[in-house]
């Protein structure tokens, strides 16, 4: 399809070219006539006047012929040009033909430029959609775009993780996803202003990615440009801060997803502070478990929680976090540390109550830790959980309970014997129904499950000795039926006795 702008330009050239050639040919005829007249005056003076008249008439005839033919061709050109403006058949009063044609041509050219800009924006949008789909491993059938990307020059990826501050939610009446879109537009503007060809798009409500054409730019130049853009973004520091990761130079556009995943992981190794940070891919050393939380600290924290010593417990928590902060652990290591602190509280609850209360909503706690960025936020999440754990322990702490103590002591000393609910009813002078409901209420587990679980724990220790046969182990823990023993063993361990021996002790015999 021909470009309308090229058609207009071509017609303009033809239009003015034909006018100019007509004038030049008429002038040429008269010059030739003059030369012939002068020559005849010297060569044949007698016929010179007649010849001169003849030459003038001939020139006039030739001029009329040229004017007619050129005018006809000119009319064709003007008609072709006029076809570009089918809605304007009349020239306004007081406007010359040339002015009219020039004005209409300019409007067509401006409109064409607008169309070109719109098409370019749509191509850029399609390219962004395709790149985003590749990063998320989603299939999109855009063969033309894919062919262009497969032949694309080397590129660098810039990953932006946006962290909205409390002031944003308190003062800005917008969803984070919408604000992220505006920030994306701003970043794209900064990159374009610095002369870099890039595709920038929003990935999540708090993530932005730019794919930068690095064919004519060095990695250092791209890093310098990113630092410049991040410095400009400090104007938004009242409401937001950024963690930015700049990739190495890459030439395989099919590996976008792997590259995106890597940069999003590396972003977690930023310092746990509330400020803009730019990380360079080849300068970040991922590590795990580089935090400081000793067994002694864990036991002390657990003891303080169990005793309900709130002030001392929170002080100990702050000391642990402060020590790690001084050691300059990364944000990811701080996340692992706080996860261990939460696990410490969970283990204490399981030891005291054999379960973790749903009211603590531990799943929400782990999600909060995953989204935390700063030391203060990590401290806030952990302190809130520890306080709720201590409150739960205080409210549900078992007083000296002769019923529970009697049952636990009896099971501990007589698990190898036949134990049943009516036995406790007789010894405690209570109904079996009351004992069953009372035990479940205080221990969060029914008596039968507690007894069977206790026996299987003892059986596991006995199975460690390959000389002990399954039948002997079953009888030693008070289970006389071998089939019942095997069923309960698998229920509480996940394995049959034979499978357990093979997995844990490399014992291939099925005793």
- Determine the Cα–Cα distance for residues 316 and 383; give it in Å rounded to an integer: 10
> Which residue segment(s) compose the domain that 450 sits in?
402-505
Q: Based on the domain organization, do 197 and 269 belong to the same domain? A: yes
Does the pLDDT value for residue 3 go beyond 50? Answer: no
Q: Are residues 322 and 414 in the same domain?
A: no
For 56, the token pair is 């003038």
Do 173 and 213 fall into the same domain?
yes
Q: In whole angstroms, what separates CA 214 from the centre of its chain? A: 21
Question: Within a domain: residue 147?
Answer: no
Q: Which of 377, 396, 415 is the last residue of a domain?
A: 396
Question: Rounded distance, CA 257 to CA 136, Å?
Answer: 6
Domain edge (last residue) among 250, 283, 316:
283
For the chain, percent of residues with pLDDT exceeding 70: 67
Residue 1 pLDDT class (50, 70, 90 cuts): very low
Report, as an integer, the average pLDDT of 175-195: 88
Average per-residue pLDDT in the chain? 78
Q: Are residues 339 and 422 in the same domain?
A: no
Q: Is residue 127 part of a domain?
A: no
User: Bigger pLDDT: 460 or 87?
Assistant: 460
C-alpha distances (whole Å) from 458 to each of 199, 447, 461 are: 64, 17, 5
- Whether 442 and 390 share a structural domain: no
Between the ranges 25-34, 66-75, 76-85, 195-204, where is the mean pLDDT highest? Answer: 195-204
pLDDT at position 406 is: 86
Residue with the two structure tokens 């002369």? 195
Q: What is the pLDDT of residue 4?
A: 45
Which string of DSSP letters, residue by residue, matches 450-474?
A: HHHHHHHHHHHHHHTSTTS-HHHHH
Distances (CA, A) of 377 to 13, 172, 272, 338, 384: 71, 21, 9, 11, 11
If asked whether residues 375 and 431 sit together in one domain, one would say no
The H or E element containing residue 26 is helix 4-43
Closest CA to 493 of 371, 396, 473, 480: 473
In-domain check, residue 140:
no
Q: Are residues 358 and 418 in the same domain?
A: no
Give 353's pLDDT tier (boundaries 50, 70, 90).
confident
| Phi, psi for 373 (deg, rounded to 5) | -130, -45
265 and 314 part of one domain: no
Amino acid 279: pLDDT: 94
Judgement on whether residues 182 and 279 belong to the same structural domain of the protein = yes
User: What is the number of H-type helices and E-type strands within the chain?
Assistant: 20, 5
Decide: pTM greater than 0.85: no
Q: Are 208 and 183 in contact (CB under 8 A)?
A: yes
For 474, other C-beta atoms within 10 Å of its C-beta total 23
DSSP secondary structure string, 272-305? SSSS-EEEEGGG----S--S---HHHHHHHHHHH
Q: How many structural domains are present in the chain?
A: 4
Write the CATH number for 498. Answer: 1.10.10.60
Tell me what the mean pLDDT of segment 167-183 comes to.
Answer: 89
| Boundary residue ending a domain (235, 254, 283) | 283
Is the pLDDT assigned to residue 212 strictly greater than 90?
no
Q: In terms of pLDDT, which residue wins out, 400 or 428?
A: 428
């Amino acid at each position: 399809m021909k470009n309308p702008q090229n058609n207009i330009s071509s017609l303009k050239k033809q239009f003015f070219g034909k006018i100019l050639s007509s004038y030049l040919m008429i002038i040429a005829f008269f010059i030739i006539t003059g030369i012939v007249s002068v020559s005849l005056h010297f060569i044949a003076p007698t016929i010179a006047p007649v010849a001169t008249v003849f030459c003038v008439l001939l020139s006039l005839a030739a001029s009329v012929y040229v004017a007619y033919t050129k005018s006809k061709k000119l009319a064709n050109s003007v008609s072709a040009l006029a076809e570009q403006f089918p809605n304007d058949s009349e020239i306004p009063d007081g406007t010359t033909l040339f002015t009219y044609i020039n004005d209409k041509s300019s409007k067509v050219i401006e409109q064409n430029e607008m169309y070109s800009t719109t098409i370019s924006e749509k191509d850029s949008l399609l390219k962004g959609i395709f790149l985003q789909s590749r990063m998320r491993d989603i299939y999109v059938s855009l063969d033309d775009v894919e062919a262009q990307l497969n032949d694309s020059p080397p590129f660098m990826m810039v990953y932006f993780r946006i962290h909205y501050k409390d002031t944003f939610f308190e003062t800005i009446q917008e969803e984070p996803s919408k604000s992220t879109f505006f920030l994306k537009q701003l970043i794209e503007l900064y990159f374009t202003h610095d002369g870099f060809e890039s595709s920038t798009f929003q990935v999540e409500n708090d993530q932005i990615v730019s794919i930068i054409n690095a064919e004519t730019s060095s990695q250092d130049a791209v890093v310098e440009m990113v630092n410049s853009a991040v410095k400009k973004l400090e104007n938004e520091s009242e409401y937001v801060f950024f963690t930015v990761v700049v990739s190495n130079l890459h030439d395989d556009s099919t590996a976008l997803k792997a590259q995106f995943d890597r940069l999003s992981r590396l972003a977690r190794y930023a310092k746990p502070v509330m400020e803009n940070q730019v990380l360079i891919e080849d300068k970040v050393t991922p590590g795990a478990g580089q935090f400081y939380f000793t067994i002694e600290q864990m036991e002390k924290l657990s003891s303080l929680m169990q005793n309900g010593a709130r002030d001392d417990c929170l002080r100990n928590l702050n000391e642990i976090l402060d020590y790690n902060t001084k050691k300059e652990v990364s944000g990811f290591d701080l996340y692992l540390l706080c996860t261990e602190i939460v696990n410490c509280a969970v283990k204490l609850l399981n030891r005291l109550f054999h379960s973790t209360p749903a009211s603590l909503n531990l799943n929400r706690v782990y999600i909060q830790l995953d989204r935390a960025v700063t030391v203060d936020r990590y401290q806030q999440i952990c302190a809130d959980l520890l306080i709720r754990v201590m409150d739960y322990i205080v409210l549900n702490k078992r007083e000296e309970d002769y019923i529970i103590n009697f049952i636990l002591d009896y099971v501990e000393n007589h698990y190898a014997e036949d134990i049943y609910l009516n036995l406790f009813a007789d010894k405690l002078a209570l109904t079996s129904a009351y004992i069953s409901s009372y035990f479940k209420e205080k221990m969060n587990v029914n008596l039968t499950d507690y007894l069977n679980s206790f026996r299987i724990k003892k059986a596991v220790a006995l199975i460690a000795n390959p000389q002990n046969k399954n039948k002997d182990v079953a009888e030693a823990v008070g289970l006389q039926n071998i089939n019942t023993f095997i069923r309960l063993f698998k229920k509480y361990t996940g394995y049959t006795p034979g499978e357990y021996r093979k997995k844990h002790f490399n014992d291939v015999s099925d005793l």
